[in-house]
A and B are shown apart, each in its own frame.
Chain A
Amino acid sequence: MRDVAVISFAQLPNVRRDTEREETELVQPVVTEALGAVGLTIADIGFTVSGSADFLLGRPFSFVSALDGVGPWPPISESHVEMDGAFALYEAWVHLQRGDVDTALIYAYGKSSLGSLRDVLVQQLDPYYVAPLGPDSVSLAALQARCLLDRGRCTERDMAEVAAQNRANAVNNPFAQLKGGFDVNAALSEPYLVAPLRKHDCPPISDGASAVVLAAGDRAKKQCQRPAWIRGIDHRTEPHSLGARDLAESPSTELAARKAGALGGSLDFVELHAPFSHQELILRRALGLAPEVRVNPSGGALAANPVMVCGLSRIGEAASRLSRGEGRRALAHATSGPCLQQNLVCVLEVD
């Protein structure tokens, strides 16, 4: 495989409701910042690919207006996935493996605040057998948490501790939305939102955008002092039918990690796209993480969850922390679909 690295990352501060910006205005600042930080313009980019979902904005073709934020003139080589930006990054990495271009721009945007997110995400479900029943995203996550609790794999306290740790980590992240640890004992006396999940077990609703620049080989070294090399990246899905899955496990994460060469070898930290507290516990097990591995120095999805952006930002966060000298090897993860249906694992290293 050709050596490809993350050489730049930019994100907007994640907020509960951005009333100022349309999609073009979400994309333009992060693209400009990510390119500018490494002295590039769109004319230097060989392939551009974005991730977003029309249903968040409640209308078709929202990615078309978003593209204006890139300034694609003269015309550019460009594509789009109706998925989290992390999957767009995977597509860009594949394209760079062809060997005919050396740079790629990836961006993602999401305005989760425009509708009732829990209800919008129902539209992701099997339209014949599941969506008509109307199970919202929090209720499905609660079902998954219940599987874990019934299996004796964790307690509600373990889940609260995960949330408290992530929000404590977020204190040092200027882009995070929910910051500050909390008293776990007090939190456990709070009422359930959807049993067994309490409010602290759930992600905030966030609006945001982020952008990543990839470069291959010498080009990465030229543009960036300390590129974060992608040593492996893979994604896998699982059946959608909830009854066909063991919700307490994440075999697709384990398989993607194996294919990405993530299992074995030490990790300085991981950035996991786990919107609900119990999902971090599932992912830790699937990845076989040692207890001492630092999880989500950024605060993760429990501190900011811009839908369609959150996975790409995990890769960007991990890469930029490595480039800043916070470690030598890290793992970033992204997820898509209800109850961690589809998962992507990316292993990053600095020289």
Chain B
Amino acid sequence: MEPCAIVGIGQTHHRAKREDVSIPGLLREAALRALADAELTFRDIDAVVVGTAPDMFEGIMMPELFLADALGAAGKPITRVHTAGSVGGSTALIAADLVHAGIHARVLTLAFEKQSESDAMWALSPRIPFQPQLVAGAGGYFAPLIRGYIRRSGAPGHIGHLVAVKDRKNALLNPFAHLRIKDISLETVEKSPMLWDPIRYLDTCPSSDGAVAMVLTNEALAQKAPKPPAWVHAGAMRSEPVLFSGRDQVNPRAGIECAKAVYAEARITNPRQEIDVAEIYVPFSWFEPMWLENLGFCATGEGFKLTEAGVTAMGGDLPVNPSGGVLATNPIGASGMLRFAEAALQVRGDAGKHQIDGAKRALGHAYGGGSQFFAMWIVGKEKP
């Protein structure tokens, strides 16, 4: 299998409303930054792989068709991936496949969401025949899972708030992050309005306009890249059904198996020690301890103890979401790829003020649907 490297990374400044740009303009902002980072132009690109969450979010059916022009895709293959919230991650993996398979030498992959074009809460609350209606968007779906986690683990009630504060403080170090809450504290989170018990307003992610892009290349071109590349050490996707009796939605098997698959491919036996930094998809604060367990960073029921002990803070031994994560920036379709790209920035030593010193291996994680779709990659400073 041909090695695949990330040689260019770019993202937009994320905001609630990017009224200064169209959708193609938003994507080009990220794409041109990624291309400049790699000292390339659209002409150098062989194929484009673009991901975004449901078409209902922007009200455009199969937007890759009209985006072809702005992304310089004419005469090239363009693919549109959609795997719910995990889409940013799976889009990067589909793009990496084109390099791994030796089919293309340089692939541009992008993910975006311009949530201000529509109402995600509406689009996330479909009335599906024979299924319970999600009347309150994603928070309404995930709050019971969080309550299930608290009941099982006996975690104290403030754990989620610790994550909410930590990630927003991290976001202040990231110039691209959307939410910049300078005076965030445990008290302000605790006093924020309850949305879906136990998720308070400041425990939840924002609704963002934003895009992210990466340039992936084969080994020969990575050696010539102007900046140190990040190498793809492993990638995997796993899916399971949304509803059936007995399904564990708090600690889903698809997530456990996806993590095992990437660790095996990257020859990692002790993820807690061998992974230096993790960018994990945490749209509601409590998902940090939940995913720490699902990802095998600790035993079941122990995740909240890592969060409480500061293990996941910038100075901890397993920093999680130094970028501020989804809690600070959430253009839904791009949120997964932002995790993948931030992981790559860390191992390139190019994460600026939120750089974790000496990061050699990083995990990028994304999930979607009813905690049923998972996409992950491990990237490293050294060639695998």
Give A contacts to B, CB under 8 Å: 1, 22, 48, 53-55, 59-61, 63-65, 67-68, 71-83, 87, 90-91, 94-95, 97-100, 120-121, 123-128, 130-131, 234-241, 244, 251-252, 255, 336-338, 341-342
Contact = CB atoms under 8 A, between A and B. Distances in A.
Given A78-B237, A126-B66, A240-B65, A94 B98 contact: yes
A329 to B, nearest CB: 22
B23 A127 contact: yes
Interface in B196-246: 236-242, 244
B105 to A, nearest CB: 14
B294 interface: no
Interface string B20-58: 001100000000000000000000000000000111111
A237 B53 CA distance: 22
B129 A22 contact: yes
B26 to A, nearest CB: 13
B59 to A, nearest CB: 7
B69 A98 contact: no
B97 A95 contact: yes
B86 to A, nearest CB: 9
B128 A65 contact: yes
Contact of A255 (B75, B78, B372): B75
A241 B73 CA distance: 12
B124 interface: yes
Given A68-B241, A68-B242, A73-B244, A124 B61 contact: yes
Contacts of B93: 79
A72 B62 contact: no
9 contacts: A53-B61, A54-B56, A60-B53, A64-B84, A76-B240, A123-B61, A127-B58, A130-B66, A236-B77
B254 A75 contact: yes
A121 B239 CA distance: 29
A341 B60 contact: no
Contacts of A128: 22
B74 A237 contact: yes
Nearest to A49: B94
B317 interface: no
B123 to A, nearest CB: 5
Contacts of B80: 81-83
A100 B382 CA distance: 22
Most chain A CB inside 10 Å of its own CB: which residue of B69, B77, B81, B236: B77
B15 interface: no
B62 A61 contact: no
Contact of A239 (B74, B100, B369): B74
Q: Which of A79, A128, A251 has the most CB of B within 10 A?
A: A79
B240 A53 contact: no
Closest 3 CB pairs of A and B: A60-B54, A97-B101, A75-B254
Nearest to A88: B79
A70 to B, nearest CB: 9
Interface of B: 1, 22-23, 53-62, 64-69, 73-84, 90, 93-94, 97-98, 100-103, 123-124, 126-131, 236-242, 244, 253-254, 257-258, 261, 369-370, 372-373
A68 to B, nearest CB: 5
Given A79-B81, A120-B61, A126-B66, A91 B97 contact: yes
B260 to A, nearest CB: 11
Nearest to A68: B241
Nearest to B239: A78
A208 B109 CA distance: 31
A276 B3 CA distance: 43
Contacts of B238: 75-78
A61 B126 contact: yes
A61 B370 CA distance: 11
Given A53-B61, A98-B100, A241-B69, A59 B240 contact: no
Nearest to B375: A79
Contact of B240 (A73, A123, A127): A73
Contacts of B239: 48, 67, 72, 75-78
Nearest to A84: B62
Contacts of B83: 78-80
A65 B131 contact: yes
Contact of B56 (A59, A68, A83, A99): A59
Nearest to B242: A64
A76 B261 CA distance: 11
Contacts of B84: 61, 64
A152 B283 CA distance: 58
Contacts of A241: 69
B82 A63 contact: yes
A330 B74 CA distance: 27
A174 B330 CA distance: 49
Given A76-B239, A83-B62, A238 B68 contact: yes
A123 B68 contact: no
A216 B124 CA distance: 39
A80 B82 contact: yes
B97 A94 contact: yes
B79 A79 contact: no
A236 B76 contact: yes
A302 B230 CA distance: 49
Contacts of A54: 54-56, 61, 82
A99 B103 CA distance: 13
A75 B90 CA distance: 16
A80 to B, nearest CB: 5
Given A76-B238, A240-B69, 13 more contacts: A1-B102, A59-B126, A60-B57, A60-B124, A78-B238, A80-B83, A82-B55, A99-B1, A237-B73, A237-B77, A239-B69, A338-B65, A341-B68
Nearest to A338: B65
A53 B63 CA distance: 11
Nearest to B52: A82
Contact of A87 (B67, B74, B79): B79
A102 B123 CA distance: 37
Given A74-B257, A336-B62, A81 B79 contact: yes
B102 A77 contact: no
